[in-house]
Amino acid sequence: MPRRERRAQLLDSALEVFVAQGYHAAAMDDIADRAGVSKPVLYQHFPGKMDLYLALLDASCSTIVENCREALASTSDNKARVEATIQAFYSYVSSETGAFRLVFESDLTSEPEVRTRVDRVTTEIATEIAQVIKADTGLPDEASELLAASLVGMAQVSARFWLAGGGEIPQKTAAALISGLAWRGIAGYPLTDEN
């Protein structure tokens, strides 16, 4: 199998194991078994379990950040932007892969390399949202960033709460409830009375 395909296979297998067992309980043997390769093959691609975990974490963080960037860029209507961004979080946490657990429920958040990557998600998404808030409201950077971080927190915490509750409310309905709440709050900061 070509190196790139093998690496992708190993990452897919590792994701399944880490999501199911958490970092500490997962073993390289389990990941190699899941991938159908020997441990030496696994170590040819990833020198250690932390390297493998960080590669997965990087990919997972990039996915949610990119999904939110796309949601923000999808329209110039701010109400629709809020809806699209909240929906991006709900779609991300409801993905069958469970990759969100690496980002939002990691059992390694005390590790500096992990913490930096996890914090990147909030920081990068909040920075993107803050730019929109500042442009539309004229609020200072610090206020725009605080509001943006609050919106990110609302999106990710509510999405995880929704999923943990078994998703009894349909995903689109749950996301619409939260985007309605977020919009009612953020719409209170218009630059002009025309907004």
pLDDT of 129-154, one tens digit each? 999 999 989 999 999 999 999 999 99
Structural domains present in the chain: 1-47 (1.10.10.60), 57-187 (1.10.357.10)
How far is residue 69's CA from residue 81's CA, in Å, rounded to a whole number?
10
Are the C-beta atoms of residues 132 and 93 closer than 8 Å to each other?
Answer: no
How far is residue 77's CA from residue 64's CA, in Å, rounded to a whole number?
21
pLDDT of residue 194: 47
pLDDT of residue 142: 95
pTM listed for this prediction: 0.85
pLDDT of residue 125: 95
pLDDT of residue 99: 86
Which conformational region is residue 46 in: left (phi greater than 0), alpha (psi within -120 to 50 degrees), or beta? beta
**Which parts of 74-140 fold into alpha helices (H)?**
78-93, 100-104, 112-137
pLDDT of residue 195: 43
Cβ count near 69 (within 10 Å): 15
How far is residue 64's CA from residue 60's CA, in Å, rounded to a whole number?
7
pLDDT of residue 102: 83
Alpha-carbon distance values, 26 to 6, 15, 65, 111 (Å): 20, 10, 26, 17
Residues of the chain predicted below pLDDT 70: 192-195
How far is residue 52's CA from residue 16's CA, in Å, rounded to a whole number?
12
pLDDT of residue 97: 86
SS3 92: helix
Which DSSP category does 138 fall into? -
